[in-house]
Amino acid sequence: MIYKKILVFQHVEIEDLALFGKLFITEGFEIEYVRLYDGDKIPVNLESYVAMISLGGSMDTWMEEKYPWILDEKNAIRRFVVDMNKPFIGLCLGCQLLAEVLGGKVIKSKVPEIGFSEISFLDLANKDKIFKLFPKKITVFQWHNFEVTNLDLKKNNILASSKIVPVQLFRYKKKAYGIQFHLELEKETISKWLDDEIYKKNFEENFGKKDITKVLRQQKIYIKKLNTFCELFFSEFKKNFL
């Protein structure tokens, strides 16, 4: 059997494909992780991959001196998305890396966006092959202190926003998506992140210890619906682009 290969950039050990990973594997795709935090090198030849995914992480796009692989990843994204016009998904940090590659900027948000919150789809989403199938508003999980701005609107379509962050979701050309929120969550994902010292400290610095219980309670309410949206996105992404 010939498997279609997905190239995945992983920035920290605790952030993986989660539900996306199970969906790709179930459908017969081969996942190749590049564990950048562990010193993995990015393949020189990108032709053999049918899609590229860039995950979230605790670092930020401008930390190229501390994490030299950020520049290598940006170059690979540029080759894959801009030069080769291949399908791409950027989640959280991956969304911001895509934006910078495309000439946008990533700035510190006035208010950190961490936890469950509502996003609204804009009119352009009605013409998108995937997100036209979504309801006008959905509740998603966020974990970011920075946001995307200054995108070239002649080349990028902003598809969704929130009250805090205007660019929650954008598409470059036809098949490269920057998704600021975490669509990939599974029921154990948030607990796993909060068990990590860096992630827990970031959460408590912004919201205090008591809100951890609140987020875990909200997860029980929203996770099943969020998983449904992840499955819908995957199904349509696969059908249209893979």
Q: Which among 100, 184, 186, 230 is annotated as catalytic? A: 184
Q: What is the C-alpha to C-alpha distance for residues 128 and 175, in angstroms, rounded to an integer?
A: 10
Q: What is the C-alpha to C-alpha distance for residues 94 and 82, in angstroms, rounded to an integer?
A: 15
| Closest listed residue to residue 139, CA positions, set 115, 112, 155, 157 | 115
Q: What is the C-alpha to C-alpha distance for residues 201 and 194, in angstroms, rounded to an integer?
A: 9
**188 noted as active-site residue:** no
Q: Which among 95, 100, 147, 182 is annotated as catalytic? A: 182
CB atoms within 10 A of CB 3: 11
Q: Among the residues of 51-196, which ranges form H helices?
A: 69-77, 93-101, 189-194
**184 noted as active-site residue:** yes
* Cα 27 off chain centre by: 20
Strand extents, DSSP E, 11-155: 29-35, 49-54, 88-91, 105-121, 137-149
**95 noted as active-site residue:** no
Q: Which among 11, 73, 92, 100 is annotated as catalytic? A: 92
Length of the chain measured in residues: 242
Active site residue ranges:
92, 182, 184
